[in-house]
Structure 1
Amino acid sequence: MLEQILCIDDDPITLMLCKKVISKSSFSHEVITAQNGEEALHHFNTLKYTNDKNKRKPELIFLDLNMPIMGGWEFLDHFTSSDYNEFNSAPVIVLSSTIDPEDLAKAKQYPIIIDFLSKPITQPMLEYLKKKIGI
């Protein structure tokens, strides 16, 4: 079981569903959320500058692509930069409502992305991911 997962999505229903499905499946102890990429980067910046030795870093990120303020691709461009080296070893799973072939091709350009799945998140999806990431 993972300690902490970060779900980045602008839809509150998707975030609520993520939390419920993940908690029921014993996939992670804690699910934190951000409503866009900017909010997620702010979370990592807060972690970066805190002196708390017990700070938890997300071990996995579920990322939506189409969000206002800062979308998934822009988040990835920032997150994979050297500014976030302390955190960007966390694998990313794109969780999107569209399966655009261009998005799938673009996702392959980011080694941090380990899968591209369709919303909504489901129990069988989490079982598949448990096997894939070895938890």
Structure 2
Amino acid sequence: MYNTIFCIDDDPISLMISKKMISKTEFAKEVITALNGEEALRMYDNLKEKATDLISKPELIFLDLNMPVMGGWKFLEIFTSKDYLEFNTIKVIILSSTIDPQDLAKAKTYSIVVDFLPKPITIGMLDYLKEKLK
């Protein structure tokens, strides 16, 4: 379905599960990862500055909220700023273990966030997203 998906999560086990599920279901050809929002923004900065094809532009982001260095909310705040306008068509799925209604409400304030789902990624979740994101 997708060429490249970006998983941003500080938990290596969650990243491994995500990669396995995405590969198993052929949801994407390539999965790239970052361990926090700051690392993810650096990757986008490289895409902007070098205009290189060495890194494929992700079409979908799976984003964790609670990470050290830079969490998901700060990443979204910066990523939706004018500095990253060329990436504003990329859809974001928040993957989190939180069930806080305030987090769900906050997610809805970002137009690029298309869903808020519980960790970890499952085959059923990817099937659901295939239908939703057609």
Alignment gaps of 5+ in structure 1: none
Percent identical: 64
Instruction: Find the counterpart in structure 1 of residue 46 from structure 2.
Output: 46
Task: Name the structure 2 match of 1:10.
Answer: 10
In the alignment, is residue 34 of structure 1 matched against residue 34 of structure 2?
Answer: yes
Q: In structure 2, the residue corresponding to 1:49 is in which secondary structure?
A: helix
TM-score (norm 1): 0.96
* Unaligned ranges ≥5, structure 2: none
**Which residue pairs with 1:65 in the alignment?**
65
Secondary structure of residue in 1 paired with 2:50: coil
Normalised TM-score (structure 2): 0.97
SS at match of 1:85: helix
Find the aligned partners of 1:31 and 1:24 in 2 and give their Cα distance. 12
Letter in 2 for 1:67: M
Shift of 1:106: 0.5
Q: 1:76 is aligned with what amino acid?
A: L
Change (3 A) 1:31 1:89: same
CA deviation after TM superposition for structure 1 residue 54, in Å: 6.9
Displacement of 1:25 after TM fit?
0.3
Cα distance, 1:56 vs structure 2: 1.9
Give the corresponding residue for 1:92.
92
Task: Tell me what 1:115 maps to.
Answer: 115
Count of residues paired in the alignment: 134
Give the ranges of 4+ consecutive aligned residues of structure 1 lying more than 4 Å apart after TM superposition: none
Shifted more, 46-55 versus 67-76: the winner is: 46-55
> Over residues 21-57 of structure 1, what are the superposed CA-to-partner deviations in whole Å (9 max), with x where a residue is unaligned?
0000010000000000000000000111114357521
**Alpha-carbon shift at residue 88 of structure 1 (Å):** 2.2
Q: What is the RMSD computed on CA atoms of the aligned residues?
A: 1.1
Between 1:107-116 and 1:45-54, the stretch displaced more is: 45-54
